[in-house]
Amino acid sequence: MQLFRTALKEAAWAFLFSRLAIVLVSYIGIILIPQFGFGRPLDCTQGIQTCIFAWYHWDAIAYTSIAHQGYSFTPQVAFFPLWPLLMRYGGLLLGGVYPLSYYLTGLLLANIFFFFTLVLLYCLLTEDFEPSSARRALFYLSFYPYALFFFVGYSESLFVLLCVAVFLLLRRGKAPDWWCAGALGFLATLTRSSGVLLAIPFLVMYIQHFWLPGKRDQSSVLQKLNALVPVLLIPAALLAYMAYLGYTKGNPLLLQSEEVSYWHRHFALLWDTFDLAARNILLGSLFSFDELKNIVDMAFTLLPILALVLGWKRLPLHYSLFALAIMLFSLSFPLGTENPLASQPRYMMTAFPILVIFALWGKRTRFDQAYVAVAIALLAVNTILFITHYWVA
């Protein structure tokens, strides 16, 4: 109980300061910088609704649409159902006014879930690392250059919350925890397709708990089966969503076909992904916004990979394997467009063990100061780009 109270306090500081920073930067950006395609800034001071809808862009619009009218626009089946389903019921409680009620629900839930992500992350990391590293990890995650997506109505907050909760349950390893971890893994997979990768840390912790030398004879066969069977719940979520699409749309494989035909995402080998991205950078128009965007996406795709390569030995095995799996999965399905790494920095952010590596490196004052300065500055830039309707990630 003392640990939980401390976690609430530490999470509150990081949460409140980061939310205040995003809101303040957003307000300044709205009143001073023209929206994309407009010649002058929006007059946010004349109506609160203009301020409220500052973050109503890109995927937030798609999730709001799904929450209101389901998958009436078939290509939106690429957005997994749990997040818009929560937005739907929350929106109905707020009056069911489209898009305001559903959009506000997305904002509220994203921030509530992110706060509890920080709480559980602190509880988890203090078990495996010292409290100072846990505290830094909360701050680093809250001010990560792409942490804006934990604020706007995207699914990242819910997904990372479920992932951290699964890790916490797996660490405890009591009999009911395996079933709870499987159930939360099921929900994570219904949130994002990469949730199925939670089966990896599940199996690693299962082996460490029951099959390492000295532990094989400490549990009965029934106990081992009770802990192993719940892992099946994680991939079962994909089957459940496919069954839903088969029932409602007549095609259980619709998700895959729409990803390819409409969203231009298809399986590619890693070197092909980076080869295409590098070619686009080298052949792009020098100093153009698209060229700069490609370079930034490349940098914040490679940075987490480099961090994992250098720091994986400092993490428990299931942390490292989960982060690696998230990266490989994400990079295996690039966008077949002028920027194949679009959204990759945001996807990489969900590999939360990378932030743990940064937090461990943050013991060095110079690294800590450099991270804070660069991360906060880039978070401000990405926030301004997002609210002025430029693509960020």
Burial 166-203 (b: 16+ CB within 10 A, else e): bbbbbbeeeeebbebbbbbbbbbbbbbbbbbbbbbbbb
- pLDDT, position 289: 78
| Alpha-helical segments (H) within the chain | 2-32, 48-52, 59-69, 82-93, 100-128, 131-142, 156-172, 175-191, 199-210, 221-228, 233-249, 254-261, 270-283, 289-311, 317-331, 344-349, 353-361, 365-387
* Nearest of 155, 178, 271 to residue 230 by alpha carbon: 178
- Contact (Cβ atoms closer than 8 angstroms) between residue 319 and residue 325: no
- pLDDT, position 46: 64
- pLDDT, position 113: 98
Task: Tell me the C-alpha distance between 207 and 103, whole Å.
Answer: 43
Task: Tell me the C-alpha distance between 122 and 3, whole Å.
Answer: 9
134: tokens are: 């846990």
Domain range annotation of the chain? 1-169, 173-263, 264-361
- Contact (Cβ atoms closer than 8 angstroms) between residue 334 and residue 265: yes
- pLDDT, position 346: 97
Q: What is the pLDDT along the chain (393 residues), one digit of tens a residue?
A: 899 999 999 999 999 999 999 999 999 998 888 887 666 777 666 667 778 899 999 999 999 999 999 999 999 999 999 999 999 999 999 999 999 999 999 999 999 999 999 999 999 999 999 999 999 999 999 999 999 999 999 999 999 999 999 999 999 999 999 999 999 999 999 999 999 999 999 999 999 999 998 888 888 999 999 999 999 999 999 999 999 999 999 999 999 999 999 998 989 999 889 998 998 888 877 677 778 889 999 999 999 999 999 999 999 999 999 999 999 999 999 987 778 999 999 999 999 999 999 999 999 999 999 999 999 999 999 999 999 999 999
- At residue 381, the 3 state secondary structure works out as helix
Task: Tell me the C-alpha distance between 115 and 113, whole Å.
Answer: 5
Q: Give the distance, in angstroms, between the CA of residue 386 and the centroid of all CA atoms in the same chain.
A: 17
120: tokens are: 């559980």
Q: Give the distance, in angstroms, between the CA of residue 328 and the centroid of all CA atoms in the same chain.
A: 15
15: tokens are: 């949460």
- Whole-prediction pTM value? 0.97
- pLDDT, position 316: 97
- pLDDT, position 47: 67
